[in-house]
Every structure is written in C-alpha cells, then in structure tokens.
Amino acid sequence: MHRAIILSDTRTPALEACAAVLGASAEWFPARTAFVRALLQYPDDEVVVVCSGDRLELDAAVHEALAETAARRLPGFGEALRRVLPSPLGLLTEAEAVLTEAGRLLLLLPAAPEACEAALPLLAEMVVGLGGDAPQQSVQGGGVTVTQAEEDALPEPEASRWQAALEARGARIDRERWLKLPDELAAQAAARNVLEGAGERAVVVLPDGREAGLLGFPDLRRPSSKVLMVAVTRGVVEVAALHRHPQQVGICGRGTLLTVGSAEAEAMQRTRTPPPREGLLFAVDGGAIYLLRSAVVYRWDGRWERAEGSEAQVTASLLLRWSSR
C-alpha cells in the first residue's frame, strides 16, 4: 500500500477530504522544507503521496525542497493529470511526480480530493510504459520501484514552463537588449529591490510589436528559472509570472500580458465562490485573486477575505514571492 502524507500546519476541510481519499492511515506533518527534503532523499520503498498547499498549488516548502535536491521530475505527469480532471480544476492544478535520489517515486499533489483520486491509477499507467529494454516496473498495491535501467529510460525533461509560456504567446527573446525598469516600478523601492535582484534581463517582443522586460531568477537559461515579464501599459503596471504556466499568474493591469476575465469570473474559476464585495481585479495567483478597493488590495481565496495593504506593498510582496517560486 502507498504511504500518504499530508503537509499542513492546519487541518482544512479540503485536506481532510484528501486524507479520506488517500486512506485512513494518512499521516499529518507540518509543512517544512527540511521534512520534504528528507522524503526526496530517503523515501520508503513504496510510492509516497504528499498532499499540501491549497486546492491548486503545492506548498512553498515543496517548491523549496525540489529546488534544493537532485530529485528528478517525471515528465508529463502534471499535464496528464490536468487532462483527466474536470474544468476549471484541470486547467490550473499544479502537481508533480518525481524520481527521488534513492530511485523511488514521490507524488506531490495539491489539496484537491479529485486530484488525489485520479493520481494513483494515472501514475501506474504511466510508469508501466517507461521500461524500454529493461523489465517493466512492478505495480502491486500501489507500490512502485524504479530500477536504474528504467530510470535511464525516462524521457528528457520537457521544455520549461516559462519557455512554453513565451511560445504560447508567439513572443521572442531579444537577449542583446534589456529595458530599464519602468518609472512606475523604479519609484517603488521595495519592488525595485526585488527586480534588481534578477540575474539576467532581456527584452520580449510580442507578435503585435509591443515590448516588455524579461527578468530571470537566477537567469534566463535554465528551465527551472523563475521568470517575470514586466510592462507598463498606459501608466499601469503589468506582470506575468511565466514559470507558473499554464496557470495565469501575475498583476493584471490592463490585461495585455495575462489572459484573465472579470473579477467574478476569475473568482469562480479559481475558488468556485464569488467575492463578498466588488472590486477591481488587481492580481491572480493560483487559487486566489486580489481585488483593489479604495486604494487597499484584498486577497480572496474562496473562504476568507483579507486586507493585504496598498498597491505598492502588495506589488512588492507578490514580486518577491514569484521571483522565488
């Protein structure tokens, strides 16, 4: 039987539902990077299913641990899972299957019971077809062990998310130039400090001829880089977190860098619940939207509405978050 682990500092109804789907023996642990790193390095002999974060996104501790270890992502698992899940969940869900340093398989899932229910049989189907000339993996009661020969037969990783996002927009990178920070952002000290920390900058040329800045953390070379596309349209800041593709994540502005709907439409798609009060759609981030009302930005996740601060404060906070995960 697979081992099921729930990573969370609180027992939310969504995670309780996930635990029920994964089995009564699901274990609960705080969401800590060190714990996830240990799982990636020294897992059990069976499939380990880790459920964390919100309905759409993995917890930050999972992202940090993945970035710090040699665990290898199993290409195509997240995309395959999104295809079998109903819309809008299937369009936005973030999930990973990784081959750990010890050669075992680890599933990393968000707090969505539907994703947990679909993940195990889907993984079994994918794993059985990986072997090449080596013997097929043995899938018994959910346990999967991958031999070295089978690991070598894994396909090479797909193009990075940020590169796929540029291709989807029909955009091209001009690495010979880079745009200075727009005055609207340069005037915000906290936001400027985040963006000036980019290890590489370039210019993105969109199909209609418009140009935007491209900032890579740590660079614009490796698939794992965190990449932000930044522009100012008619005096309004816009940001797209390209490494979160295919999710639409960023500061909406005039809506030219992101494909988003109205505030209510985005709330229904991401949280299944309309916001309690109207507001101007300011930003979108996984399973939450940000609304601007009377110079204050509020975060709505479908259950709670929370004041986050001024436009400048929230802009800096979101940029810091997206530059690191």
Give tens-digit pLDDT for 20-59: 888 757 888 887 777 777 777 655 545 678 887 776 677 7
The structural domains of the chain, with segments of one domain joined by +, span 3-152, 161-322
How many CB atoms within 10 Å of residue 81?
26
Cα-Cα-Cα-Cα dihedral sign, residues 75, 124, 127, 50 = positive
Give tens-digit pLDDT for 158-189: 458 899 999 999 999 998 888 788 888 888 88
Q: Alpha-carbon distance 289 to 281, whole Å?
A: 7
Q: Quick one: pLDDT at residue 110?
A: 82
Query: What are the residues whose beta carbons fall under 8 Å from the beta carbon of 121, sequence distance 6 or more?
Result: none
CATH code assigned to 3-152: 3.40.980.10
Q: In terms of pTM, does the model score above 0.85?
A: no
**% helix / strand / coil in the chain, to the nearest 5?**
30, 25, 40
Give tens-digit pLDDT for 194-224: 888 888 999 999 998 889 999 998 889 888 8
